[in-house]
Amino acid sequence: MINLANRQFIFHQSFFVSLLTILVVALFTRLGFWQLNRAEEKKLIANTIEQQQQKRPLKIYPTNQSLLEDNRLEFRQVELTGYFEPKHQFFLDNKKYQGKAGYEVITPFRLNNSQQRILINRGWVSIGKSRDDIPLIETPLEKINLLGRVKLPKENHFRPGISNPAEHLGGIWLYLDLDYFSQLADYSVYPPVILLDKNSQYGFVRNWPKFKAKTQMHFAYALQWFAFAFFTLLTYLWFGLARNTKKELKSHD
């Protein structure tokens, strides 16, 4: 019983309502902290990208090629020497540029004095008049130097109901799957894909998206979830308090 200025209150709520309120408040609170953690993760990624971009391009030699297996190299610019292998070149479908449909050209690149390959994303090309006609791509066969940014492909980037991105090497692929590519090509490739530098003469349209942390959005979502938790608890307390007069209380006694 609570006595406030001669007004007496009795708090009463059922066990089920109390348990449900605890669960809902806990859920909203956890979602709020999850959004705060997401904001910190995005901030960390943004800082990592900035630090990597400030570094000088890393020259890849036969003696340090294993660095391409290190995930910490993501976003770093690297300089490669080797040969394009257009035989296993393919196109990633459903890529748009300025509202136009097209493909991204993916060409394997064999590193100099090595049998190791890495995939190069050479940029966007238009579909053309028909999807039945694969774009004609000019690819140099001589030894060249490339500059590009390391990008780790998204895992499990598949479409529902489609087990493989394509039926064979070359042609049009629905999504990028490095393991599947290695099975078809009969050779392995390094984990990242290299986004070809926009100033390289060996690519096409390269308007690579910049990472946006959007931390303010996550803070706003966190505040929203915490507000939900607060008002849920406030509603529980409000409906749980029943005001009674002294006479009514004595009658119950």
pLDDT digits (tens, 9 = 90+) for 175-197: 899 999 999 999 999 999 999 99
The residue among 90, 89, 140, 124 whose CA lies nearest residue 196 is 124
pLDDT above 90 covers a percentage of the chain that reads: 57
pLDDT at 245: 40
In Å, what is the CA distance from 100 to each residue of 36, 71, 91, 195, 231? 37, 33, 16, 20, 47
pTM of the model: 0.74
Across residues 110-123, what is the average pLDDT? Answer: 95
pLDDT digits (tens, 9 = 90+) for 214-226: 889 999 999 999 9
Which H or E run includes 253?
none
Across residues 89-99, what is the average pLDDT? Answer: 92
Domain boundaries, the chain: 2-43+214-252, 59-196
pLDDT at 156: 59
216 vs 158 pLDDT, higher one: 216
pLDDT at 6: 54
